[in-house]
């Protein structure tokens, strides 16, 4: 194996992991607050759609990113109201939100453009080469020649971690997910906190979707997220609900996918479809490996009821 | 009350405790008043989702009233459309009744798509390999093969849950993707049709085709299987000790333990059953609609099954009308797209909204009827 | 420091607090002694602002507290340390202390950590700010609650049954800590039902019974006997149709039954008990002394770490719940809502919870609903269950009628042995009387009954023999004619250090 292939693999891993990472960061905020983030697949799709369509119409990437956040938040608000106010079951509501997003994005893609999906000529987020650093051998292009959202995603891990571990708000959020009664007994409002956490999740997941449509693939197609949201959920579990660890989880899945993409060119006697299965199989294997040791927030999925 | 109560909260869990089935369905009784309440709930949810969807139709510049009218006409307008709708409903009902039973037992099985996919593969393999057999043997064998494949596909995440504590939601979900890719794999390998422009298998021998229920139409006998499945599951659930046990498992952990019922066995059983039913659905699709194995044939079916199960308030008998509703909805949507230009993906909007409304209503009703 | 006057609080038909006066001075530890239902928790809820009194006044540090909220109580300097801690297990001591901080600017973490260390050193709490709550023993977790209270500036600490989950050495440490706190000028209210502790740490004691104060005393000069009598003194009511029976042969025999919980603590310590035909063994005791563990082990929901259980000579120590049912065991648990009844199922189905998969309720693969219906109708008549029809959901019945369904099911099977755990919990007097009558009727017919309740009255009314669960042991089992209330009171109050010693106090 020569350097070029290795660099290509690493680069592809990072590229594929980026949207997963953004979604996972959002998902972990929602789950640490006690709401299952099964709906991130839908939020991601909404973000991908909103970002793509806005960028298409305005030809402005910033507006596109903004729109993706808003679209993600909207779906997050729906999930939040259903689960917090109406105490609907978290997992199935997330599933319903995913179906809704799928239908809505496909529908609007055609409906807003006179009945046929438009040709997607989108401005895309290009690579930003940091002067001098990006010319270093091997690490240069990988670490310092990535597009904007990639820098953003990986850099965001730090403030998210810091927020969760070192701020009062993060502490309260985690308390709501572990023991809402205890949080309530010291004056926190678990319902409000869960609602906000789900909407923040929507922002992150929406951005993850925008990364997919505006940076990685440069287009929007029906259902383009294709399960990435669920892979992000797996990454959260693998990372034991901790930001830095789930980052590695996303990279692992990204590497599996990158390997799958590249292996096809190597002429190995393994079918390309089997190779495409690997990210999912690896996710399943890791989940099994972790087994019961993965300890999720104690009150996740349980509605908080004021007596 | 007891000192040991606080302890459980201190220990972690991997698989979360799904809320009692009551919380998804409200109190259980075949009483007329309860049936009416659930019917009312379903109708309300559907109506609300149609209203909200009308907004989206308006956003896209079309007239919602015209669109809905076209929908209705398209669904019921002709024999062909009715046949199409019934055919569409068949796999939904088959998979949906299995999912409904799972949810009743507090098992969230969303692996329908994968189970349908492998069911289709197995049935296709039998159909293609058994060209020497007569139809009345070949078809049942193919369907049986489909059911075994589906059950096996569900057994894997079930085992993962029982042995490693991996929650069945993620387990069944991820297996969906693997199952669908398995179809592509099969079609690019042993079962693919050489020279076809699209990943598909060769056409099945004619004796493997599901016969038509009404000669001259597309309607195949699969709908009979669906009705049989609903009847069997209904009676099984409400009138056998097995169903009684499922209902106990679906209430609370302690009630099931107190009655001496094994949660693990109930869980495994209902997962296998749901998988088998989904496998049959897959078999019916390839044998009755496509007459071949074709890439993407299982798309969306799994989630439809969940939506239908919810709309039916998890009642096996009600899965039939709920499934029919979605089948007709789909038939109508295609017509609506042709005539008015409203994209047929609207039905997924309706489906998603309906699910959310039903879930919200069930969340509240549980609150009001707490013991 | 604290003066509560004339506190009255009524819950429906029950007068939980009936004109209570309580005075606590700074630097004093006041014990609040009483059984379940004596009114002590209501009184404290009133003090803390969780519940509003119907009448009465509260003055704390010269200021009146009227219609206050818990937040206001905390701000005034009253802190309550609950029996079940409000702590987040997955977080550290520091994080749990930080959780509540609302006043002013958020303090620096290092500052709070230092204060925790200092407080810990001052009072010998042995707490590290970075320790994970889940890793701490119950005793240490309680100290975290104390630290929280101290850092909030509490001048009055109320501890509700603080020693119920502590081991003896931990209890000793706690009492030492409390004494130090009192020496520094704080006031402490110590709610308990254990006499020994009262004598160990309190300066004065107030005894509650049935919502009234039955006695106040300084510790110096008080005797255990007096206090026990104040706690439980009552008349045993008569008027039950009890046929004179000589107990028959042994039905259920448990030997040296031991059970350890997941934290390794022994909750049941070598329990020996025997149930005879035609006899009720009544077991009194305050909640939390191992009763629920005992019934769970006997019923098969928990497996004992040591010891044996035999039913009619058959060893059922490790038998499944189903097998025990078939061998003739019946069990009425305390929790109707989640255990003995399924709310969403109908009355006839709930009646069939034990035998739905056996003939005649099961005919080959089908459930015979007619048989369910027949039996339901019979039971409804027999036990006077108020219900419109047998297939209404049991969740719609009143509490009393729900319990009738449970009893109809368990007793209706004519079991060999019945375990009744808090069978009258949450029921009004009429329903309570019904339950007791049914249990005695079963005993008259020759059944064997283990009747566990926290209401001493009931146990004394019902039991042919009476014993007490104290700290995981079953002690003082005597025939009803030999019952000495003072002894029982002492046993319930944990007044015996040596659990094997036979009671020697004579009146």
Tens of pLDDT, residues A242-266: 999 999 999 999 998 888 877 777 7
- Structural domain of A265: 3-293
Instruction: Note whether C297 and C191 are same-domain residues.
Output: no
Which residue in A171, A167, A149, A156 sits closest to A247, CA to CA?
A: A156
Q: Cβ A178–C109 below 8 Å, yes or no?
A: no
Burial B340-363 (b: 16+ CB within 10 A, else e): bbbbbbbbbbbbbbbbbbbbbbbb
Subunit contact B22:C343, Cβ cutoff 8 A: yes
* CB hemisphere CA count around C83 (13 angstroms): 18
Q: Are residues C189 and C333 in the same domain?
A: no
Residues C208 and C311 in one domain: no
Calpha distance A89→A78 (Å, rounded): 13
Q: Pick from C325, C338, C367: which is nearest to B240 by CB?
A: C367
Residue B368: per-residue pLDDT: 40
Q: For C97, name the nearest residue in chain A, comparing CA atoms only.
A: A186
Tell me: do C331 and C209 sit in the same domain.
Answer: no
Nearest CA in chain C to A297: C90
Q: Which of C343, C369, C403 to mutate to test the interface with B (most CBs of B within 10 A)?
A: C343
> Is the residue at A141 inside a domain?
yes
| Widest pairwise Cα distance in chain C | 77
C-alpha C138, offset from chain centre: 18
Domain that holds residue C373: 250-492
Task: Give yes or no: residues C461 and C360 share one domain.
Answer: yes
Tokens matching residue C102: 């609302």
Q: Are C227 and C275 found together in one domain?
A: no
Specify the pLDDT at position C243.
67
Residue C236: band (very low, low, confident or very high) from pLDDT cuts 50, 70, 90 = very low
CB atoms B343 and A281 under 8 Å: no
Q: How many domains does chain C have?
A: 2
Residue B260's region, left for phi above 0, alpha for psi from -120 to 50, else beta, is left
Within a domain: A148: yes
CB distance A175–C98 less than 8 Å? no
Q: Which of residues 281-300 of A touch C (CB under 8 A)?
A: 295, 297-298
Residues of chain A in contact with residue C106, where contact means CB-CB under 8 angstroms, are 168
In a domain, C257, yes or no: yes
Distance CA C504, CA C490 (A): 11
Classify residue A136: in a domain, yes or no. yes
Q: Does any domain span residue C239?
A: no
Whether residues C219 and C175 share a domain: the answer is yes
- Grouping H, G, I as helix, E, B as strand and the rest as coil, residue C393 is strand
CB B174 to CB A284 under 8 A? yes
Q: Chain-wide mean pLDDT for chain C?
A: 83
Give the span between the Cα atoms of C430 and A93, in whole angstroms.
45
Give pLDDT, residue C320: 87
pLDDT at B271 (0 to 100): 96
C102 — pLDDT class (breaks 50, 70, 90): low
What would the mean pLDDT of C318-326 be, rounded to a whole number? 87
Which of the pair, C139 or A40, is modelled with greater confidence?
Answer: A40
What is the band of C289 on the pLDDT scale with cuts at 50, 70, 90?
Answer: confident
Burial class (CB in 10 A: 0-12, 13-18, 19+), A36: buried
Token duo for residue A302: 């349980």
Compare all CA atoms of chain A with the CA of C148 and give the residue at the minimum distance.
Answer: A186
Q: What is the dihedral of CA A243, A174, A43, B296, to 10 degrees?
A: 70
pLDDT value of position C491: 79
Q: How many domains are there within chain A?
A: 1
For residue B169, tell me if it sits in a domain: yes
Q: Which residues of B touch A96 (CB under 8 A)?
A: 307, 310, 352, 355-356, 359
Note whether residue A300 is domain-resident.
no
Do C218 and C270 lie in one domain? The reply is no
Domain boundary among C176, C202, C232: C232
Residue B7 lies in a domain: no
Residues C407 and C409: their CA atoms lie apart, in Å, by 5
Boundary (domain end) residue, out of C180, C198, C232: C232
Largest CA distance in chain A: 65
Domain-terminating residue out of C179, C204, C232: C232
Smallest Cβ–Cβ distance between B19 and the set A38, A89, A237 belongs to A89
Alpha helices, H only, B64-134:
64-76, 79-104, 112-129
Instruction: Examine the pLDDT at B14 and tell me if it is beyond 70.
Output: no
How many domains, in total, are found in chain B? 1
Q: Between these two residues, C69 and C417, which has the higher pLDDT value?
A: C417
- Is the predicted pLDDT of residue A125 greater than 60, yes or no? yes
Q: Which two tokens stand for residue C329?
A: 């065991």
Residue B127 belongs to domain spanning = 86-313
C-alpha distances in Å from residue C259, one per residue of A281, C302, C306, C445:
43, 9, 7, 33
Distance CA C433, CA C229 (A): 26
Q: Measured between alpha carbons, how far is A194 from A30 in angstroms, rounded to an integer? A: 7
Please, which pLDDT band fits residue C233 given cuts at 50, 70 and 90?
Answer: low
**What pLDDT, on the 0 to 100 scale, is given for residue C75?**
80
Judged by a CB distance cut-off of 8 A, whether residue A269 touches chain C is no
CB C152 within 8 A of CB C115: no
């Amino acid at each position: 194996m020569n350097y070029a292939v290795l660099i290509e693999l690493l680069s592809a891993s990072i590229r594929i992991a980026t949207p997963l990472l953004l979604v996972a960061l959002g998902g972990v905020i929602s789950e640490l607050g006690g709401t299952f983030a099964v709906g991130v697949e839908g939020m991601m799709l909404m973000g991908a759609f909103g970002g793509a369509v806005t960028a298409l119409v305005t030809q402005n990437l910033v507006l596109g990113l903004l729109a993706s956040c808003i679209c993600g938040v909207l779906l997050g608000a729906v999930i939040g109201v259903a689960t917090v106010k109406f105490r609907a079951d978290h997992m199935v509501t997330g599933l319903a939100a995913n179906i809704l997003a799928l239908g809505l994005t496909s529908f609007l893609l055609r409906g807003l453009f006179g009945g046929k999906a438009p040709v997607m000529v989108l401005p895309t987020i290009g690579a930003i080469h940091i002067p001098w650093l990006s010319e270093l051998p091997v690490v240069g292009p990988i670490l310092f020649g990535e597009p904007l959202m990639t820098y953003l995603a990986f850099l965001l891990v730090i403030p998210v971690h810091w927020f969760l571990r070192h701020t009062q708000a993060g502490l309260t959020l985690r308390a709501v997910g572990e023991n809402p009664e205890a949080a309530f007994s010291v004056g926190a409002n678990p319902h409000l906190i869960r609602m906000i956490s789900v909407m923040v999740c929507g922002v992150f997941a929406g951005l993850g979707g925008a990364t997919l449509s505006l940076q990685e693939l440069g287009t929007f197609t029906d259902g383009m997220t294709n399960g990435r949201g669920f892979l992000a959920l797996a990454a959260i579990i693998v990372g034991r609900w901790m930001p830095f660890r789930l980052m590695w989880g996303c990279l692992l899945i990204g590497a599996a996918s990158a390997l799958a993409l590249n292996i096809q060119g190597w002429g190995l006697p393994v079918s390309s479809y089997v190779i495409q299965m690997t990210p999912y199989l690896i996710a399943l294997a890791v989940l099994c490996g972790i087994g019961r040791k993965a300890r999720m927030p104690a009150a996740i999925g349980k509605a908080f009821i004021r007596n | 009350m007891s000192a040991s109560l606080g302890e459980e909260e201190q220990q972690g869990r991997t698989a979360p405790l799904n809320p009692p089935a009551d919380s998804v369905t409200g109190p259980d009784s075949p009483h007329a008043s309860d049936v009416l309440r659930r019917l009312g709930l379903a109708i309300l949810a559907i109506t609300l989702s149609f209203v909200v969807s009308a907004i989206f139709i308006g956003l896209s510049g079309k007239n919602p009233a015209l669109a809905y009218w076209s929908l209705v006409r398209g669904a019921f307008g002709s024999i062909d459309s009715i046949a199409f709708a019934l055919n569409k409903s068949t796999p939904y009902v088959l998979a949906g009744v299995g999912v409904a039973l799972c949810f009743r037992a507090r098992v969230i099985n969303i692996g329908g798509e994968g189970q349908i996919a492998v069911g289709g593969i197995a049935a296709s393999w039998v159909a293609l390999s058994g060209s020497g057999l007569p139809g009345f043997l070949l078809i049942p064998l193919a369907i049986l093969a489909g059911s075994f494949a589906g059950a096996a596909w569900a057994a894997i995440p079930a085992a993962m849950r029982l042995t490693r504590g991996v929650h069945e939601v993620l387990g069944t979900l991820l297996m969906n993707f693997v199952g669908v890719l398995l179809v592509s794999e099969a079609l690019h390998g042993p079962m693919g049709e050489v020279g076809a422009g699209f990943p598909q298998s060769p056409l099945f021998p004619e004796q493997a085709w599901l016969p038509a229920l009404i000669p001259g139409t597309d309607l195949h006998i699969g709908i009979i299987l669906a009705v049989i499945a609903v009847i069997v599951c209904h009676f099984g659930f409400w009138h056998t000790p097995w169903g009684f046990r499922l209902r106990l498992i679906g209430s609370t952990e302690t009630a099931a333990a107190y009655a001496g019922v094994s949660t693990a066995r109930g869980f495994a059983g209902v997962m296998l059953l749901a998988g088998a039913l989904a496998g049959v659905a897959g078999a019916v699709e390839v044998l009755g609609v496509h007459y071949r194995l074709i890439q993407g044939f299982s798309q969306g079916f799994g989630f439809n099954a969940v939506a239908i199960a919810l709309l039916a308030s998890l009642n096996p008998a009600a899965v039939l009308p709920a499934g029919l509703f979605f089948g007709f909805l789909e038939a109508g949507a295609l017509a609506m797209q042709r005539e008015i230009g409203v994209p047929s993906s609207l039905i997924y909007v309706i489906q998603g909204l309906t699910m959310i409304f039903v879930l919200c209503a069930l969340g509240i009703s549980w609150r009001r009827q707490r013991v | 420091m604290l003066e509560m006057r004339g506190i009255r609080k009524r819950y429906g038909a029950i007068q939980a607090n009936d004109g209570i006066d309580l005075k606590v001075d700074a630097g004093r530890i006041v014990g609040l002694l009483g059984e379940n239902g004596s009114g002590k928790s209501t009184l404290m809820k009133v003090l803390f602002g969780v519940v509003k009194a119907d009448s009465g006044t509260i003055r704390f540090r010269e200021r009146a507290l009227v219609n206050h909220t818990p937040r206001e109580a905390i701000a005034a300097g009253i802190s309550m340390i609950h029996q079940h801690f409000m702590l987040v297990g997955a977080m550290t001591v520091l994080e749990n202390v930080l959780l509540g901080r609302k006043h002013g600017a958020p303090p620096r973490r290092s500052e709070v950590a230092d204060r925790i260390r200092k407080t810990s050193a001052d009072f010998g709490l042995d707490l590290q700010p970075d320790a994970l709550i889940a890793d701490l023993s119950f005793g240490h977790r309680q100290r975290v609650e104390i630290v929280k209270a101290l850092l909030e500036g509490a001048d009055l600490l109320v501890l509700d049954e603080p020693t119920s989950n502590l081991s003896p050495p931990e209890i000793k440490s706690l009492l030492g800590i409390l004494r130090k706190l009192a020496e520094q000028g704080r006031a402490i209210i110590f709610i308990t039902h254990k006499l020994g502790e009262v004598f160990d740490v309190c300066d004065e004691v107030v005894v509650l019974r049935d919502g009234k104060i039955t006695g106040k005393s300084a510790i110096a000069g008080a005797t255990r006997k007096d206090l026990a009598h104040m706690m439980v003194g009552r008349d045993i009511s008569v008027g039950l149709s009890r046929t004179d029976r000589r107990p028959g042969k042994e039905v259920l025999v448990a030997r040296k039954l031991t059970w350890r919980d997941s934290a390794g603590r022994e909750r049941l310590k070598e329990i020996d008990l025997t149930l005879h035909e035609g006899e009720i063994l009544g077991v009194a005791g305050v909640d939390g002394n191992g009763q629920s563990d005992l019934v769970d082990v006997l019923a098969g929901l928990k497996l004992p770490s040591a010891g044996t259980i035999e039913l009619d000579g058959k060893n059922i120590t490790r038998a499944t719940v189903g097998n025990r049912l078939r061998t003739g065991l019946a069990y009425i648990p305390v929790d109707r809502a989640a255990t003995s009844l399924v709310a969403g199922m109908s009355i006839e189905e709930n009646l069939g919870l034990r035998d739905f998969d056996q003939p005649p309720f099961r005919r080959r693969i089908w459930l015979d609903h007619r048989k369910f219906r027949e039996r339901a109708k019979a039971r409804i008549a027999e036990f006077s269950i108020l219900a419109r029809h047998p297939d209404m959901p049991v969740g719609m019945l009143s509490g009393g009628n729900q319990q009738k369904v449970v009893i109809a099911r368990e007793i209706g099977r004519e079991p060999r042995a019945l375990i009744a755990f808090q069978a009258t919990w949450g029921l009004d007097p009429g329903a309570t009387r019904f339950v007791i009558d049914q249990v005695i009727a079963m005993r008259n017919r020759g059944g064997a009954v283990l009747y566990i309740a926290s209401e001493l009255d009931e146990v004394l009314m019902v039991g042919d023999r009476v014993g007490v669960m104290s700290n995981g042991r079953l002690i003082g089992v005597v025939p009803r004619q030999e019952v000495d209330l003072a002894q029982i009171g002492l046993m319930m109050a944990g007044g015996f250090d040596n659990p094997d010693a036979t009671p020697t106090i004579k009146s």
